[in-house]
């Protein structure tokens, strides 16, 4: 969790081609971003993870939208250093732990946080954060689970990222506003670098404890 916690902002990116991976990395690094989640929503996901895994020591690469044990093995073999899922699946979590890679499953209820706790996890993704109540939901979950750390995702924007990161229990946030699909499709890497720089400039407040 350390690399993600240090990054604090994790762009969620879906790439149409593996060739977009390296210019994306250059743009994010130029903007001060140090971690990225490459989703498996496109056929290029695993290949992009593999391309980025050894590209730069300045960028920690993880996999997103991982929903099966087979995908866990695929992305870890490609070089993913953390694995994010939209929901919590015991088999997926167990496989990640067995292979020594951080799983961050999505949760939306206290029962799911309790399951994550029972599986030995100390970090979960809150998804979809905005629909669940945003920072208020995190604060509510922090009461019965004071040791759990949270990664809000879904509805995190440039306007609310600082508020999320100032919420106790939040160790990082993820979202697509720093690397929007339109900019990636257009190859507008300067725009991605600008958005990344604006995001990192907005998070002067210390992370949640």
Q: Which pLDDT belongs to residue 183? A: 97
Per-residue confidence in pLDDT tens, the chain, 209 aa: 678 888 899 999 999 999 999 999 999 999 999 999 999 999 999 999 999 998 999 999 999 999 999 999 999 999 999 999 999 999 999 999 999 999 999 999 999 999 999 999 999 999 999 999 999 999 999 999 999 999 999 999 999 999 999 999 999 999 999 999 999 999 999 999 999 999 999 885 454 44
Return the domain boundaries, the chain: 2-200
Q: Which residues, other chains included, contact 98 with Cβ-Cβ below 8 Å and sequence gap of 6+?
A: none
**Catalytic: 209?**
no
Look at residues 191, 116, 184 and name the one whose alpha carbon lies nearest to residue 150.
116
**Which residue out of 19, 37, 74, 131 is catalytically annotated?**
37
Q: Which pLDDT belongs to residue 209? A: 47
Look at residues 189, 190, 162 and name the one whose alpha carbon lies nearest to residue 175.
162
Q: What is the pLDDT of residues 55-94, one digit of tens each?
A: 999 999 999 999 999 999 999 999 999 999 999 999 999 9
Distance (Å) of CA 38 to CA 16, 111, 114: 11, 28, 27
Give the containing element (helix H, strand E) for 136.
Answer: helix 135-142
- What Rg, from alpha-carbon coordinates, does the chain have? 16
Q: Which pLDDT belongs to residue 204? A: 59
Give the containing element (helix H, strand E) for 195.
Answer: helix 189-201
The pLDDT > 70 percentage for the chain reads 97
- Rounded-to-integer distance, Cα 32 and Cα 53, Å: 18
**Catalytic: 22?**
no
* Structure token pair of residue 107: 């949760």
Q: Which pLDDT belongs to residue 1? A: 64
**Which residue out of 22, 125, 131, 209 is catalytically annotated?**
125
Residue corresponding to tokens 């250093």: 81
| CATH architecture entry for 2-200 | Alpha-Beta Barrel (3.20)
Q: Which pLDDT belongs to residue 75? A: 98
């Amino acid at each position: 969790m350390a690399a993600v916690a240090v990054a604090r902002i994790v762009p969620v990116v879906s790439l149409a081609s593996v060739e977009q991976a390296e210019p994306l990395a250059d743009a994010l690094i130029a903007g001060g971003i140090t971690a990225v989640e490459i989703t498996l929503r496109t056929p290029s996901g695993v290949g992009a993870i593999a391309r980025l895994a050894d590209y730069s020591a300045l960028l920690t690469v993880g996999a997103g939208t991982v929903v099966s044990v087979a995908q866990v093995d695929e992305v870890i073999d490609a070089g993913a250093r953390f694995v994010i899922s939209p929901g919590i699946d015991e088999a997926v979590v167990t496989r990640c732990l067995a292979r020594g890679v951080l799983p961050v499953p999505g949760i939306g209820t206290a029962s799911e946080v309790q399951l994550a706790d029972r599986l030995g996890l100390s970090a979960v993704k809150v998804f979809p954060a905005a629909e669940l109540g945003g920072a208020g939901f995190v604060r509510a979950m922090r009461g019965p689970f004071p040791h759990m750390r949270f990664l809000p995702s879904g509805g995190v924007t440039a306007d609310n990222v600082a508020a999320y990161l100032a919420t106790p229990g939040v160790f990082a946030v993820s979202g697509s506003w720093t690397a929007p699909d339109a900019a990636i499709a257009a190859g507008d890497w300067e725009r991605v670098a600008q958005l990344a720089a604006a995001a990192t400039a907005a998070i002067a407040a210390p992370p949640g404890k």
